[in-house]
Structure 1
Amino acid sequence: MKSLKTSFNIVFCAFSILFLFSCSGNLKQDKDGYYSEEKFVDSLNVGRKGKTKVEFEKFRHIKNGDVFVTLNVYDLKDIWVESKGSMFHTWELKNTFKFIKDGVTGLDVQIGDFNNDGFNDVTYQSGIAGRGGNIVMTLFVYDPENKDFIHIKNSESYPNLTYNPKLNCINSLILTGSTITSFLTIRKDSLQEFARVDVSDKIVVEEKDSTGKFKVIEEKVFKGNDKDLYKVFRNYKPLEY
């Protein structure tokens, strides 16, 4: 009986291994050896809602594990078909982006208005840093004039991005040896920092002056608890969470 059970286990394991290899072999690859691992599509919430579509797709190389992400941007276009005597809707490709990505995290696509213009922008997670606390995001801001998205080129330099309605700006929470709340504004295709609050055993508030240099405008002892240390400041003059 024991021998029969052992034989069954061996056959089961062999079948499982064969099944796994068969699944790997059946992955649909392109000519360069990449296969689609994850996909996200939205046409209801981004840009001109119902008239803008984004299509994110994550690809992994079947042998070396390299990962990249593509973003296709579409705009809904009306076309007249003479033979049908009617107007039809079709998705017109406006732009395509391609980026190298880490091989650990998923797409984690987030939709929201980062510049308060009434059109939803979009981010995806491009990496993670700082022992897991810094979520690195790539931001795309919708441009209604061109019906396309603008890639904010340095958005990966500012982790944990959130919109700040109080100051109509963007906040980044950076976790290092201390905790830094950066206050950012969008200028063309980049984020520009205009103030920051650095918290460790003390709170140091800096603001950029007319010459483009940061100046300390407030400094005091930090009296909060551990939970307060990781809060995002929504104002820096005066200090407010």
Structure 2
Amino acid sequence: MLSRPCSYLFEISYFGARFKGWAKQKGQPTIEGKLERVFRFVLGHEDFRLIGSSRTDSGVSCRQGFVQLFLREKTDLEPLLPLFNLNLSGEIVLSAVREIPRDLNLIQAVSQKTYRYYFASEQGFPSFASAFITQVDQFDTLEKMEEKARIFVGKLDFRAFCKVSPTKTDFEREVLEAKVYQTKEFEGPFYPEIVYCFEVTGTGFLYHQVRKMVSAIWHFPPEEIKERLANPERESPQVPTAPSHGLVLWETLLKDF
């Protein structure tokens, strides 16, 4: 018999700058850690379990993701949303909740994710903008960056564009769309006059994959990107990892939802 037979799905967004990523770490502020503390306080017990649809890195924000909650008893959580959010202090927001089948595997239910990475030139860069936008000393023209982004589209081996771990053996991922464009999402005295966005949609991503793709789009010639994708095991200097604070998990889609 299942010890926690009731399952609920929350939609979540968060500002990641003050957190050391999603996963709970001893002595460090994390999204999972803060959620657990607030759930313990609001529910009045710790007989629950949480699973996130994505384990974002330190400093990475999320506009739309999901959290699955397992409970021992059926509970009406909708009226508790305001209390959850009050204690999450605005940095994390739970925007909706619904009961779902207990056997739904949230990680496997993710069908695709879209990330956006915002960046701008160092010239005329307001300090407040650093919360969401990465300041870059130099990068290629928009036309060249658009060309390089398209090279990443397809089912490819991204071994050269991720942080490799000894336990990882599968480096093939499918990128459905990748583009670079000038965005109007940030306007006003707190932001640079021109802000660019790298947007990528895929069925899944490796550790640091998006941030290494961004770095390559800034600085690598197209031929170097093609060569690294075609020969992922070639011995060569690592692709630099772009800073985390420009990255946002923009959208998460689940199968059959």
Q: Shared fold by TM > 0.5?
A: no
Structure with the bigger percentage of strand: 1
Q: Say which structure is richer in helix.
A: 2
* TM band (smaller chain): under 0.3
TM-score of the pair, normalised by structure 1:
0.24
Where relative contact order (Cα < 8 A, 6+ residues apart) is larger, the structure is 2
